[in-house]
Amino acid sequence: MAQNDSLSSPFFKSYDEKVTSSLYFIDTSNSFEFLFDAGGQDKHLNLIPNRRAQIGANLSYKFIDVSYGFSPQFFDENKDNSDSKLFTISTRFYHKKWMQSITFINQKGFYIEDDVTLFLPRLRTTKIGGTTSYVFNDKFSFKTIANQKEWQTKSAGSFIPNLSFYYTNFDLNDGSGGEHSDVYLATLSASYFYNLVIKEKFLVSAGLSPGFGFNDVDGDVSPLYEVTGSFKIGYNVDSFFSFINLNFTDFVQDTNAKIRLNDNFSTFKFTIGYRFNPPKKVKEVYEKIKLINKQ
């Protein structure tokens, strides 16, 4: 469930009164790079999740937003994955010019990419966190990037400062109960996003966000650098929309850290969707809930 409190503007159009349905393909992952000193030589291990590709469906109306996705075996990325698992939830809450994102990623089954390939079927990582942002320009619609409940009708951009915090747990699940690590990170970043509208129906959007903060790996605290990027190509009319969206976030530790853990999570998403008027009964139920909340 996500709150949708948007400022009206001739620079974008709201579809909050419509039911928005969509089908999507998403390839998402949270990979890690360990860097350490081994006998005077810098060594690194890449931890790559073993299962990533999903297809799913989404249905949203007003503050209600429901999605369901699964990882079918006919995708090449999902073949020969043993008991690997992937579960993700991400959403955004809006209040006027404020925006809050929340992300949850649970992965089981990794392989180490080094001189030899080693599969770790029981290794599980759990990440939870989010970003608080403030959109300075009233003419810019971030919802056009994040979902299809709004559409930018005239080109606009905005400076957006962000405060991010994430917690990640690593667990080998080997039965000993001691092979796990806790990682906390916090960053402050400055981003700029721009929505380029072409003939009102087509959109090219891009954004970049460099930042700085700190990382705590089992009590070992070190400086941390962040780079976040977003790119979207979309087509939209009132009833139909389609888009391709690429997002990535890289957290890179300072080179003076004893053990460096570089964290990357990225998402590639292709979506097609349809908007329609809500059934009368659904609208009546929503109005009753709204009335109760006001009392």
Strand ranges, E, within the chain: 12-14, 19-38, 41-49, 53-61, 64-70, 85-95, 98-113, 117-134, 150-152, 156-171, 180-198, 202-217, 220-236, 240-253, 260-276
The predicted model gives 201-230 an average pLDDT of 90
pLDDT at 3: 41
pLDDT above 90 covers a percentage of the chain that reads 30
pLDDT at 177: 54
**Global confidence as pTM:** 0.80
Residue 136 is classified by DSSP as -
Q: pLDDT band at 1, cuts 50/70/90?
A: very low
Higher pLDDT, 28 or 20: 20
- Between the alpha carbon of residue 230 and those of residues 41, 52, 101, 141, 195, the distances in Å are 35, 19, 14, 14, 11
Give residues with Cβ within 8 angstroms of 119, minimum separation 6.
Answer: 50, 82, 109, 110, 111, 112
Q: Which of 163-167, 187-191, 226-230, 286-290 has the lowest mean pLDDT?
A: 286-290
- The model's pLDDT over 110-148, given as tens digits with 9 standing for 90+, comes to 777 666 667 777 788 899 999 999 999 999 998 888 878
Higher pLDDT, 15 or 109: 15
Q: Which of 29-38, 49-58, 151-160, 221-230 has the lowest mean pLDDT?
A: 29-38
95 closest CA partner among 59, 63, 128: 63
Token pair in block for residue 233: 């190509």
- The model's pLDDT over 39-69, given as tens digits with 9 standing for 90+, comes to 666 667 778 776 667 788 888 877 677 777 7
pLDDT at 62: 76
Side chain identity, residue 295 = Q
DSSP 3-state of 177? coil
Compute the mean pLDDT over every residue in the chain, rounded to the nearest whole number: 81
33 closest CA partner among 113, 121, 108: 113
Higher pLDDT, 91 or 188: 188
- The model's pLDDT over 143-182, given as tens digits with 9 standing for 90+, comes to 888 878 889 999 999 999 999 999 999 887 765 555 678 8
How far is it, in rounded angstroms, from Cα 270 to Cα 73? 19
- The pLDDT of residue 212 is above 90: yes
